[in-house]
Amino acid sequence: MNPSISLPKRLVTVAALVLSVAAVQAGDTSPGEQLSRWSAEAGAPGSVPRGQAFFSNRHGAEWSCASCHGTPPTRQGEHASTAKPIAPLAPAFNAKAFTDAAKSDKWFRRNCKDVLSRECSPTEKADVLAYLLSLKL
């Protein structure tokens, strides 16, 4: 340690570093980067028509993505069982959508299990995000 730097100054420096890392992690990606990641994992680019069909399809179950997020997902949605409001999912209508990789992964995992009773594949994620990115103001 450098003895010429006081303890309060060190604490301020460490706190600033921690806060800057937290801020980067909270908005650590963009929808386009997420699409690139899932397309790379899938080995193929996302498909808008497949994504739109996937989003609207009930997949043999009670719910589809659209059940809560709406069709098209450009306005506030509502959870089908809790009635809790859900922000618009399409990135053009919600600046925070798909800007946090951990949140995107968490919500895809949770929602795919609700709709499909399994996790979505990278291809399905890429297709859905390609569809969502195609929706413009």
Amino acid symbol at 49: P
Helix (H) or strand (E) holding 78: strand 77-78
Residue that the structure tokens 């103001």 belong to: 137
- Model pLDDT for residues 124-133, shown as the tens digit of each residue: 999 999 999 9
- Model pLDDT for residues 1-18, shown as the tens digit of each residue: 555 555 555 554 544 444
Average pLDDT over residues 109-137: 96
102 contacts 86 by C-beta, under 8 angstroms: no
Helix (H) or strand (E) holding 85: strand 85-86
- Model pLDDT for residues 16-26, shown as the tens digit of each residue: 444 444 444 45
Whole-number pLDDT of residue 1: 54
Domains, the chain, with CATH or none: 30-134 (1.10.760.10)
